[in-house]
Amino acid sequence: MVAVKTAVHQSDSSRSGRVLRVGPLKPSLMDTLVSEYDALELPEGDERDQFLDAHGESIIAVVTSGRTGVDAALMERLPRLGAVVNFGVGYDATDVDSAAERGIGVSNTPDVLTDCVADLAVGLVIDTVRGVSSAERFVRAGRWAAEGNPPLTRQVTGKRVGIIGMGRIGSAIAHRLGGFRCTVSYHNRHEIDGSPYAYAAGPTALAESVDVLIIAASGGAGTAQLVDRAVLEALGPQGYLINIARGSVVDEEAMIELLAAGQLAGAGLDVFAHEPNVPAALLALDNVVLLPHVGSATVETRAAMEALTLENLDRFLADGTLVTPVTP
Ligand code: 8YV
């Protein structure tokens, strides 16, 4: 019998209690939460209410993912909750303002996924601008032999690239694009002192001055549809949109309309407004690259995210603090 980690802290009554898993998580993390922390699992549907009546008072920590999170209504049902430990750097699915009001700490997994997400962003730039996936579909469909060469694409090297959100991931993307002699500019909540890249005061100003616009901003209310129709129109018929952040940052309907009408050249998307559902109109287009939210999905990075998630949980259970807390 493995001693459960919560039992170690029974002496401190404020932190004696149970760990709750909310939403699906990496299978090995789910196993560890059960075997080493005796974690409970929040059921879906009709059982949920009954479960919360029975166990809500005992929960002191939640482990969740950036896709599920904890809203204010669930916090209300967990009166002793002290920490929301989030697997993922993005925590827009958790109501951080309500958490702060209730004195609940929220942690995420920054830094450990920066390289993989930035690698994927550059992969999407190359795929979208050079039409890699489209050319691959062309070969598989037997069209090369039947029709001859596919249409020419565009060059990546030397392109003007705008990045919305020059945080850890945006900066890692910019750094990589230096290898392609791209001219990088950016828009961010605040201009960054000493940044080597030109700052644009708004997303429209940025979009109209670049060939490729990459979204690397956090999701949430502050960035909802920040890339709206006007921004996409400013990017224009020769412009490409890349999104490795959150689908909520873009007006997805406007984007699809403009792509279908040839008023945007193409899009490389790892995220969507209503995941895992991707609009049929988008699936029908050949000038888009569509990925199932895999920015951080490598063995190495997911293992590092899992380790940091557990470090946060352990720290909270040990002394009530978090290793990588977020600030609302
Ligand atoms: C994960 C992500 O897919 O970290 C994030 O914010 O979007 C991804 O790394 C997600 O959090 C896992 O649930």
CATH architecture under which domain 114-290 falls? 3-Layer(aba) Sandwich (3.40)
Please write the tens of the pLDDT for every residue from 64-96: 999 999 999 999 999 999 999 999 999 999 999
Question: Ligand 1 — pocket residues by CB below 6 A?
Answer: 65-67, 87-90, 113, 293, 295-296
The active-site residue, picked from 57, 147, 191, 275, is 275
Please write the tens of the pLDDT for every residue from 251-290: 999 999 999 999 999 999 999 999 999 999 999 999 999 9
Q: What is the DSSP letter of 13?
A: G
Share of the chain above pLDDT 70, in %: 95
Atom 1 of ligand 1, residue of closest alpha carbon: 88
* Cα dist from 154 to 60, 139, 151, 159, whole Å: 54, 19, 10, 10
Q: What is the pLDDT of residue 295?
A: 98
The active-site residue, picked from 77, 80, 160, 293, is 293
Name the pTM for this structure. 0.95
The active-site residue, picked from 9, 187, 246, 302, is 246
Active site residue 293: yes
Q: Give the Cα separation of 295 and 233 in Å (integer).
A: 26
* Cα dist from 217 to 200, 213, 223, 236, whole Å: 15, 12, 8, 21
- How is the chain split into domains, by residue range? 13-110+301-319, 114-290
271 and 217 in contact (C-beta within 8 Å)?
no
Which fold does the domain 13-110+301-319 belong to in CATH?
Rossmann fold (3.40.50)
Instruction: Judge whether residue 4 has pLDDT over 90.
Output: no
Please state the atom number of ligand 1 nearest to the C-alpha of residue 113: 9
Active site residue 137: no
Atom 6 of ligand 1, residue of closest alpha carbon: 90
Q: What is the pLDDT of residue 16?
A: 86
Q: CB-hemisphere CA count at 13 Å for 114?
A: 14
21 and 64 in contact (C-beta within 8 Å)?
yes
Instruction: Judge whether residue 3 has pLDDT over 70.
Output: no
Q: What is the pLDDT of residue 324?
A: 98
Please write the tens of the pLDDT for every residue from 189-210: 999 999 999 999 999 999 999 9
Cβ-based burial of 90 (10 A; exposed 0-12, middle 13-18, buried ≥19): buried
**CA-CA-CA-CA dihedral for 305, 307, 309, 312, to nearest 10:** -140
At residue 45, the 3 state secondary structure works out as: coil
For a substitution probing ligand 1, which of 21, 30, 63, 65 has the most ligand atoms within 8 Å of its CB?
Answer: 65
Atom 4 of ligand 1, residue of closest alpha carbon: 88
For a substitution probing ligand 1, which of 21, 246, 249, 293 has the most ligand atoms within 8 Å of its CB?
Answer: 293
DSSP run (H or E) holding 235:
helix 229-235
Average pLDDT across the chain, whole number: 95
DSSP for 99-160, please give it: HHHTT-EEE---STTHHHHHHHHHHHHHHHHHTHHHHHHHHHTTHHHHH-SPPP----TT-E
Please write the tens of the pLDDT for every residue from 21-67: 999 999 999 999 999 999 999 999 999 999 999 999 999 999 999 99
* Residue 163: φ, ψ to 5°: -120, 125
At residue 3, the 3 state secondary structure works out as: coil
The pair of structure tokens assigned to 15 is 């932190």
Atom 5 of ligand 1, residue of closest alpha carbon: 88
Hey, do 13-110+301-319 and 114-290 end up sharing a CATH topology, with the first three levels equal?
A: yes
Place of tokens 């920066």: 114
Instruction: Judge whether residue 163 has pLDDT over 60.
Output: yes
The residue among 221, 223, 280 whose CA lies nearest residue 256 is 280
Residue 305 CA to ligand 1 centre (angstroms): 9
Residue 89 CA to ligand 1 centre (angstroms): 6
The pair of structure tokens assigned to 133 is 């996936």
The residue among 36, 41, 27 whose CA lies nearest residue 6 is 36
Instruction: Judge whether residue 9 has pLDDT over 90.
Output: no
CB atoms within 10 A of CB 231: 25
Residue 230 CA to ligand 1 centre (angstroms): 28
Q: What is the pLDDT of residue 327?
A: 85
Q: Give the Cα separation of 103 and 322 in Å (integer).
A: 13
Active site residue 102: no
Q: What is the pLDDT of residue 7?
A: 38
Q: Give the Cα separation of 137 and 143 in Å (integer).
A: 9
